[in-house]
Amino acid sequence: MKGGGQEVGTLKTLTKISHGYYQPYFYWMYPILVAREQHLFEQDGIELEVHDIVPQGQPEGKAQWYKEAFETKSRDFYFCCAWQGIYSTSETGKGLIGAALKSSLIKTFAIYTRPDTRITSVLDLVESGTPIAVNKNADAHYVTLKNLSELVPEDRIRLSHLGGVERCFKGLMSKEVDAATLAGPYAEAAEAIGYRRVLALSRTEPTVVVFNEKLGHEALAAFVKSINRAITLINAEREKYRRRYVKEFEEVVDRYLPELKPSRSAVASRLTLPVWAEARTLQKEEFLQIHSFLLEHGLTQEGRGYSGTVDVSAAASY
């Protein structure tokens, strides 16, 4: 049975937690990468089993994808935006939101286009019917819809699901699409190669960690503790961890975006290390605001509500 690490004589048994690592999204999960490399999980009673999930990409129907991952034990948690976390748990009734994190990454979203297009404003996008590449049912989808619907009628907004952010960026570079919502290092890379920012997008909602309920409270609390210890290290040794951050993105370029290789140095020089706040409990007001938005736009169902979806003590009990 899974739970927190326990002492057996003088030996400490570790709780195994499976982590499906989607490297193109490393920037959201960077505290996990640091916690693993600095052996913080082991110190807190966790054995993190990591496997790569990117070959299959990210499907449009993420709720079922995550549900199946929990059922097959291919992963015991997932990092996602709060919209996606609430959407997936409401749709399937599976998973507990055990922690919420805010970082400067949530302020980096924007819609980009290539310099060879005639798109210079939101009106150009709408009047031309240009679809915006997003990762559907993920942060780029929700933040784009939320911001644009404040400016133009929702029925005139065109979105195109291409998969993960790296696939959206690739589609923009190859001219498969003429606009894409990007964030983090992808937004910085777009600006480094001269792409035009059409509209900066505002987001305040945190990233959340959704756990398999079978892990148990002690394991959740130990995991959150490791993440917060990693955040303390990152924020204390900025240059050291910026170099590691840049190295990880360079691996992403080599594996998934070879089109960027000629601009690798220019891109690397533009990358900034995000700042993270400690993981905390997702508050009821935050949950209700996001859930209401999803319901109003027909993007989810009622689900289990706040008390049935959020572990209110995992991020506060370490």
In the chain, where the domains are located: 6-102+207-257+276-309, 106-200
Q: State the average pLDDT over residues 293-298.
A: 90
* pLDDT confidence of residue 299: 86
Write out the two tokens for 53: 């999930």
Q: State the average pLDDT over residues 43-72.
A: 82
**pLDDT above 80 for 302:** yes
Q: State the average pLDDT over residues 69-96.
A: 91
* pLDDT confidence of residue 5: 53
Shared fold status for 6-102+207-257+276-309 and 106-200: yes
- pTM, whole model, 2 decimals? 0.90
- Map tokens 């982590």 to a residue: 19
Q: What is the pLDDT of residues 149-182, one digit of tens each?
A: 999 999 999 999 888 899 999 999 999 999 999 9
Which residues are within 8 A (CB) of 238 and not within 5 positions of it... i.e. 6 or more apart?
Answer: 273
Q: What is the pLDDT of residues 131-141, one digit of tens each?
A: 999 998 889 99
Is residue 2 very low, low, confident or very high in pLDDT (cuts 50, 70, 90)?
A: very low
- Map tokens 């959150």 to a residue: 224
Alpha-carbon dihedral sign for residues 284, 103, 295, 152: positive
**pLDDT above 60 for 11:** no
Distance CA 311, CA 307 (A): 8
Distance CA 44, CA 127 (A): 55
Distance CA 14, CA 5 (A): 5
Burial 29-43 (b: 16+ CB within 10 A, else e): bbbbbbbbeeebbbe
Residue pair 199/191 in contact by the 8 Å Cβ criterion: no
A 10 A CB-CB count for 156 gives 12
Distance CA 176, CA 162 (A): 10
- Map tokens 């990117």 to a residue: 54
**pLDDT above 90 for 98:** yes
* Order of all β-strands in the sheet with 159-161: 159-161, 132-134, 180-182, 110-113, 196-200
Q: What is the CA radius of gyration of the chain?
A: 20
52 CB burial (10 A radius; 0-12, 13-18, 19+): exposed
Among the four given CATH numbers 3.40.640.10, 3.40.190.10, 2.30.42.10, 3.90.226.10, the one describing domain 6-102+207-257+276-309: 3.40.190.10
Residue pair 95/122 in contact by the 8 Å Cβ criterion: no
Q: State the average pLDDT over residues 99-105.
A: 96
Is residue 54 very low, low, confident or very high in pLDDT (cuts 50, 70, 90)?
A: low
May I ask the CATH architecture of the domain 106-200? 3-Layer(aba) Sandwich (3.40)
Which residues are within 8 A (CB) of 253 and not within 5 positions of it... i.e. 6 or more apart?
Answer: 260, 261, 264, 267
Longest dimension (CA), the chain: 70
Residue pair 33/248 in contact by the 8 Å Cβ criterion: yes
Task: Tell which phi-psi region holds residue 298, choosing left (phi > 0), alpha (psi between -120 and 50) or beta.
Answer: left
More confident residue, 252 or 318: 252
Write out the two tokens for 183: 């964030």
Which residues are within 8 A (CB) of 260 and not within 5 positions of it... i.e. 6 or more apart?
Answer: 173, 189, 193, 253, 267
Mean of the per-residue pLDDT values of the chain: 91
A 10 A CB-CB count for 177 gives 20
Alpha-carbon dihedral sign for residues 113, 115, 121, 125: negative
**pLDDT above 60 for 44:** yes
